[in-house]
Amino acid sequence: MWGDVKMAGMTKRKVRAFVAGTALAFTLAFALSWAGPAASSPRDGGPAGRAIVVAQIDALLPMKDQVAESDALPIDGVWTISSLSKRIHIQRGRAFAVDSWLHLFTLKIHPDMVVLRNFARTGIGVYTADDLPLLGPAELRLHPDGNLDVTVKGALGPVAYMLHKQELDDPDLLAAELALLTGENGGEAPDTGLPPVDETPDSGAPHPLANCENLGVDAETSEVVCLD
């Protein structure tokens, strides 16, 4: 039933092989190995058991120079992920790590790895993107205080976090967006080159991946794809 039908730049058979390989990597990453001789228990002098070691592997994410840039957005700049206290840089259609961190305790995310891509401005203060580590569509909503409320329909369930602004690429551009959002200046933004709202798909339509039950990553394009 999978056949050799093309999907997102690769065959479904290749997607299935890639997903199987990823599952194997997760299995190996979570495998527990017995490390060294048993330590003595401080209580009774007997063996306290062996140490548990969890393997770590690099995340299967593209680097920033492998993802094409698009137009600048008001939210371009350095932001801190509230739940991790780690920084990312949103820049021209993709966001890449500034700091390193572990995802799901085993996957190592390094600086310059892309964690969000395909950014689009779908409304005043509303943006969408594809979250690569969480394997799902993300919506980012700008607060009047200038921070971003992020919700992701991840492969393992919904995830919510905040992005706190640290350093903006173009502070005037975000100020113009906030003026529209809060109704300042009569709801008209100053002429600072705000990008148009992307209405494809229509802002009222669900994200193409919203109802997908099985998500994966295209090994050739690094796009989040539906495997249903």
DSSP string, 111-163: TTBEEEEEEEEEETTEEEEEETTTTEEEEEEE-TTS-EEEEEEETTEEEEEEE
**Is the residue at 14 inside a domain?**
no
**Is the residue at 18 inside a domain?**
no
- Count how many residues are written for the chain: 228
Per the structure, the count of domains in the chain is 1
Give the pLDDT of residue 196: 74
Give the pLDDT of residue 197: 75
Please give the residue range of the domain that contains residue 129: 57-226
**Is the residue at 3 inside a domain?**
no
Q: What are the tokens at 169?
A: 């690429």
Type of residue at 117: R
**Is the residue at 93 inside a domain?**
yes
CATH code at position 141:
2.40.128
Give the pLDDT of residue 36: 41
Type of residue at 34: W
**Is the residue at 165 inside a domain?**
yes
**Is the residue at 39 inside a domain?**
no
Give the pLDDT of residue 142: 97
Q: Which residues of the chain have pLDDT under 70?
A: 1-54, 185-193, 199-225
**Per-residue three-class SS string for 3-54:** CCCEECCEEHHHHHHHHHHHHHHHHHHHCEEEECCCCECCCCCCECCCEEEE
Give the pLDDT of residue 56: 85
Q: What 3-state class would DSSP assign to 199?
A: coil
**Is the residue at 100 inside a domain?**
yes
Q: How far apart are CA 217 and CA 149, in angstroms?
A: 25
Give the pLDDT of residue 130: 97
- Element spanning 70, H or E: none
Give the pLDDT of residue 6: 35
**Is the residue at 218 inside a domain?**
yes
